[in-house]
Amino acid sequence: MCTKLYEIAVRGDVDALMALLEEDPVILTRLITDFHENPIHVAVMCGHVDFVARVLSIKPELASETDLAQSSTLLHLASAGNNAEMVNVLLKVTADACKAIDRNGNIPIQVATMKGRVEIMQLLIDTCTESIRVLTSRKETLLHLCVKYNRLEALRLLVPLFLRADNDDNPEFVSVNSSNDEGNTILHLAVAMKQTEMIRYLLRKRDNLPEQERDNIMAVVGAINNINSNGFTALDILMQNPARDLNDVEIGDLLRNSGALITREQQLAVSPTHGHPRLRRVGGCNENCNEYDNWLTRKHNVLMVVASLIATMAFEAGLNPPGGIWQDNSVLKDHSGKPMHLAGTSILADNAIHIHFLYMISNTTGFLASLSIILLLISGLPLKKRFSIWILTAIMWVALTCTASTYFITLSSISARHLSKHGAPPVEVLKGWFITWIAFISILLFVHFLRLMSKRKASERN
């Protein structure tokens, strides 16, 4: 009989249900004491509103029954779906289910928040307002769940409803700046997960805010430098990412423009200066650090792109030397009886071994130099000092010089050395251009060295 009821629940056939009740009037009563899967849960998941409403009108106790898999009530299942009418029916029967906890420790509004069911969330809030203060097992508020599951519209619904001032005396108090068990606020999470739209929403300027959101959003800005259990601010978390992209740059601008600092800057800002000229500048560090971070990001991005391009070119050049490779073994033998050349070896190596040697040295050096830059940039090392950038730039100069050298060697190896009727032989012209390039790089390197020394002397005088 239960199997028949299960099939009727899948179809949502109310007439068949009433006919079954005439055959077995206590079939719904037996569901309360039955430990097997409840067909009413199946009807809720299938969205059969009329069927569920009729069953609950006959046996309202079934609204509080949980399934075996997740200990979910009918309201949990309906909240995870997208049927607000079903939720409304269930709330009319048992509003207390708003506080029921499933096996994962979640109440229905938390399930709806994870799924981003804004209309259902509104129904649950209207029925049980205090449910927005319930925390998860990891001390996460509903706002944490919005950020964690990227539910911006749900966040827009909830923010105006949260209390507008912190209250440390009440451990159950929740606000827009409440922390989870790791000390992370919603801003920490949004930055860690690179939720740019949410960060932009949380850090909007006061003039652009509706009245009901103004205090809440400004509270986020006021606590923008909160430190989590690991000792990181939101900006620290952003800076921990070794491979930064344009999205990171935008997030960094949003944070800096709202007054965000790294932990180190906060420590300097609150420490006594005693007239020290370097510490007196901390008050104006925000704007300067923002400009420096932007410069640093642009520099890293340029170095990464150029190094990747040079590495690709050098790799291809190593596999395809000028003149190509022999396609088969030579039929001619040397004095030892071995073939004059072997298939797969470089033609240039057999015809001009010294040029091939220079070519391989130059190409390999450029390849390894570019790989070194890529490795340093993705290694996570603190390459934030200008001296570190100078070192990376110097390695880049080596890679570029080797690339130019490889190019000139390639052209010289494939140029006809006997064509000199209309001027200097091509090889001599190429040598002249290469010497000019080396001179240019040397002058540029010398100028940068002088700038570095002058800045160091200036800093020592200060």
pLDDT band at 417 (very low <50, low <70, confident <90, very high): low
CB 249 within 8 A of CB 236: no
Average of pLDDT values for 78-82?
Answer: 88
Segment 100-140, tens digit of pLDDT: 998 889 999 999 999 999 999 999 999 998 898 899 988 99
Q: Which residue in the block uniquely carries the two structure tokens 């390459």? A: 383
- In angstroms, the CA 188 to CA 178 distance is 11
Q: Which of the two residues, 173 and 338, has the higher pLDDT score? A: 338
Q: Is the pLDDT of residue 265 over 80?
A: no
Which of 164, 244, 247 has the alpha carbon at shortest distance from 200? 247
Please report the pLDDT score of residue 163 as a whole number. 54
Place of tokens 């966040």: 155
Residue-level pLDDT at 25: 59
Residue 386 phi/psi, 5-degree rounding, is -65, -30
Tens digits of residue pLDDT in 281-304: 444 445 455 556 666 777 778 888
What does the pLDDT average to over 333-355?
Answer: 78
The predicted structure's pLDDT at residue 3: 65
pLDDT in tens, 159-206: 888 754 444 445 556 788 888 999 999 999 999 999 999 998 888 865
- The amino acid occupying position 376 is L
User: Can you tell me whether residue 82 is helix, strand or coil?
Assistant: coil
Cα gap 254→70, rounded to integer Å: 41
Could you tell me the two tokens for 153?
Answer: 């519209």
Q: What is the mean pLDDT of residues 334-338?
A: 73
How many Cβ atoms from other residues are within 10 Å of residue 356's Cβ?
A: 20
Average pLDDT, the chain: 78
- Between residues 35 and 181, which one has the greater pLDDT? 181
Q: What is the DSSP string of 381-450?
A: ----SHHHHHHHHHHHHHHHHHHHHHHHHHHHHHS-TT--TTSS-HHHHHHHHHHHHHHHHHHHHHHHHH
pLDDT value of position 10: 66
**CB neighbours (10 Å) of residue 186?**
29
Full-model pTM:
0.55
Instruction: Give the pair of three-digit tokens for residue 70.
Output: 């997740």
Q: Which two tokens stand for residue 411?
A: 């052209």
386 has pLDDT over 70 = no
Residue 175: helix, strand or coil by DSSP?
strand
pLDDT for the residue 155: 92
Check if the beta carbon of residue 12 is closer than 8 Å to that of residue 51.
yes
Length of the chain: 462
Based on C-alpha coordinates, what's the Rg of the chain?
35
- The model's confidence at residue 44, banded by pLDDT at 50, 70 and 90, is confident
| Between 405 and 383, residue with greater pLDDT | 405
Question: Averaged over 374-403, what is the pLDDT?
Answer: 80
Mean pLDDT for the stretch of residues 312-332: 84
